[in-house]
Amino acid sequence: MRDCFCTINLDQEEVYRTQVVEKSLSPFFSEEFYFEIPRSFQYLSFYVYDKNVLQRDLRIGKVAIKKEDLCNHSGKETWFSLQPIDSNSEVQGKVHLELKLNELITENGTVCQQLVVHIKACHGLPLVNGQSCDPYATVSLVGPSRNDQKKTKVKKKTSNPQFNEIFYFEVTRSSSYTKKSQFQVEEEDIEKLEIRIDLWNNGNLVQDVFLGEIKVPVNVLRNDSSHQAWYLLQPRDNGNKSSKTDDLGSLRLNICYTEDYVLPSEYYGPLKTLLLKSPDVQPISASAAYILGEICRDKNDAVLPLVRLLLHHDKLVPFVAAVAELDLKDTQDANTIFRGNSLATRCLDEMMKIVGGHYLKVTLKSILDEICESSKSCEIDPIKLKEGDNVENNKENLHYYVDKLFNTIVKSSMSCPTVMCDIFYSLRQMATQRFPNDPHVQYSAVSSFVFLRFFAVAVVSPHTFHLRPHHPDAQTIRTLTLISKTIQTLGSWGSLSKSKSSFKETFMCEFFKMFQEEGYIIAVKKFLDEISSTETKESSGTSEPVHLKEGEMFKRAQGRTRIGKKNFKKRWFCLTSRELTYHKQPGSKDAIFTIPVKNILAVEKLEESSFNKKNMFQVIHTEKPLYVQANNCVEANEWIDVLCRVSRCNQNRLSSFHPSAYLNGLWLCCQETSEHTPGCKPCTAGIPADIQIDIDEDREAERIYSLFTLSLLKLQKMEEACGTIAVYQGPQKEPDDYSNFVIEDSVTTFKTIQQIKSIIEKLDEPHEMYRKKRSSSAKYGSKENPIIGKTS
């Protein structure tokens, strides 16, 4: 048995490493790595190692895929046979060489032919034992009866050595020199001579390591007196090509490789404009963004660039709302709402991955670290219990983790990104309209995403969301799976108010009874209310405001009249999802003062020096700030937290505020006299919710152009289907023709397809010009397009 791990390498440079799977000859890694390739490379390689504690790790074998071949394997899951690792298999890099033939007249008047070999440089030599090598080259003139060898100096610690050394070899003697005839090498000699250059790593005290070789026949000079080119280094022929190598096993990989040539921004204007109009197109199925999802072989290919582009221009929320509404039309049962893999759900999944990373880290990471780094057993399946395990202790451990994780999640709404809240709000409203008689659908529409597709997935595979560096070990995976199943059931159970859990396993049903309390349902609903409540949008008028917090505090009088006193008075405060009010006493129906939640611009602490009072905060709204003093610091923080959460989605929130009060005609903090002077300090609340992501929109547009180009045939079929539907109104005879497309309005869809085709045709021209320019500039033998040298 072996303790195996894998590395991912660009050529010989390691860029990622999996975790070690212990004591297995069939290790299952299940690790996913996504990375931009920052430099040119020849091979993407995967090495399989056997971990050795005392000595160097043993390399079992490798899979090396040429850059040119990556597109052949992209998007496919393939078993690759492991190849042996030796100096030959590690050959990479190229050599810059110049050859010349000179004429020399000897003392007795005969002509001698001299071969001049100028080895200029190498580029991209492999790493040796993970470090840059100490390369040198041997230069040999090889023929039937000669082998003259010379050697360069050693260059230290470099993969791109500059040799710049010249070597001279006597080639042959021909007839006496005459001024009339140009020098010519005899045919029989030139065919038999070749220059061989071998690259080596200087081993100092150990054996030198072979880095590659090239062989150039001298007859390249037959028609020219000089020859200069870059050559790819080749492996050496050891005479054992026919012998079978041992079966080293195989490695299953799923590689997705994309390479795009991004043009200047002005080329993508029409394509971006057409895509960004998508949310406003009626019906949404006739929009360019929706059509892209329809014609791509794999919807996921279209989703990532589409989501990123729409997100960058604040168009994602209306687009997802529109395509989700299309999903709802086909949903007959409220219990299956948003459970399929449609364009809407995939866009939402991708959006949550992009903007929800920070949210997951602040919410889950510390608890997941605790679970993964502790060795507590949580197995409660009697069949899977190990010898000596106590099921009651395991149940206690599992209950502790689930409870801790659940409580953290339901208190995390403050960190939920604004764009997620906006989409959840839209989903909730649409679900309520689609199923008006189901009181729970407003919650299940949101929980199906935030619990089932977001938190539960992140818990069971934390490495995928960068919450942990590696795929967890088997015992931890089992613990996380049990926690994830319980959390997602709590989310759906709380949102659907089911009387019993949906677990198939008896032991999980028994365990879940520990959570079947009203408090868990209330907590889930409160959390879902908070992350899907956006009061800046039009309320339907049918939903009741959600009660969030109430309590007694002191407020400073507003002093609306000149003679009004501005002292502090005790009032009963009440906050709902719609408004903040205060009353003279608890239970009083008539509010003295009301601030609509949509008018709140910021909620911040107030410096103690303003009124010489502790635990103060300010509610900044469209009128004068409301200054409030809580009874203690905990209560102050709770109020600030809940007020920030409920007003987080307001569109006109301030980015700066005054930390002190405006008294006697000036701000105490910055001494400005105007009451309308912008704040002097950045706002603190809402920062985690406003996620900024770095998006290169031209690159996303280029990816979308590539996808349209690859799917032109299907786009053509969709165009024909629109024509068929528009002309032929009778029963559909051949369902294959267009039944796979969603075409609600054939005329509008046809027009959009025409626009797409026109834009793609215009973009084809600069791409073709670039390809021609690139191919003509990369001359065979140049550094960009080196000669594949003669092998042994």
3-state SS string for 698-743:
HHHHHHHHHHHHHCHHHHHHHHHHHHHHHHCCCCCCCCCCCCCCCC
- Please tell me if the domain spanning 94-175+188-232 has the same topology as the one spanning 547-682: no
> According to CATH, what is the number of the domain 331-531?
1.10.506.10
CATH superfamily of 2-85: C2 domain (2.60.40.150)
Rounded Cα distance between 69 and 76, Å, is 13
Closest CA to 533 of 521, 547, 551, 522: 547
Task: State residue 343's pLDDT score.
Answer: 86
How many Å apart are CA 308 and CA 757, to the nearest integer?
22
- Strand-pairing partners, residue 4, are 21, 50
Residue 656: count of CB within 10 angstroms of its CB: 12
Q: Which CATH architecture is the domain 94-175+188-232 placed in?
A: Sandwich (2.60)
Most confident by average pLDDT, 18-22, 309-313, 759-763: 759-763
pLDDT tops 50 at residue 690 = no
- H-assigned helices in 381-505: 391-410, 418-434, 441-449, 456-460, 474-496
User: For position 558, what pLDDT does the model report?
Assistant: 59
Contact 340, 327 (CB under 8 A): yes
The helix (H) or strand (E) run that includes residue 117 is: strand 110-123
Residue 429 burial by Cβ neighbours in a 10 Å radius (0-12, 13-18, 19+): buried
What pTM does this model have? 0.66
Cα separation, 492 vs 511, whole angstroms: 16
Confidence band, pLDDT 50/70/90 cuts, at residue 442: confident
The distance of Cα 98 from the centroid of its chain, to the nearest Å, equals 45
- Where are the chain's structural domains? 2-85, 94-175+188-232, 260-315+695-786, 331-531, 547-682
Sequence-separated (6 or more) residues with CB below 8 Å from residue 349: 453
CA 136 to chain centre: 41
249 or 39: which carries more pLDDT confidence?
249
The number of residues in the chain equals 792
Residue 787 confidence class, pLDDT cut points 50, 70, 90: confident
Q: What percent of the chain has pLDDT over 90?
A: 24
Is the model's pLDDT at 163 over the cut of 60?
A: yes
Give the C-alpha separation, 68 to 77, whole Å: 18
pLDDT at 85: 85
Spatial CA neighbour of 288 closest among 736, 699, 760: 760
Residue bearing tokens 């080749």: 234
Task: Give the rounded distance of the alpha carbon of 286 from its chain centre.
Answer: 29
> Angle 746-777/712-727 helices, nearest 10 degrees?
160
Give the pLDDT of residue 407. Answer: 93
Beta bridge partners of 555: 569, 628
pLDDT tens track for 529-557? 999 876 533 333 334 565 678 888 998 86
What is the predicted pLDDT for the residue at 436? Answer: 86
Q: Which two tokens stand for residue 757?
A: 């085709």
| Mean predicted confidence (pLDDT) in 274-285 | 91
Sign of CA dihedral 385, 386, 392, 394: negative
Q: Residue 458 forms beta bridges with which residues? A: none
Fold of 547-682: PH-domain like (2.30.29)
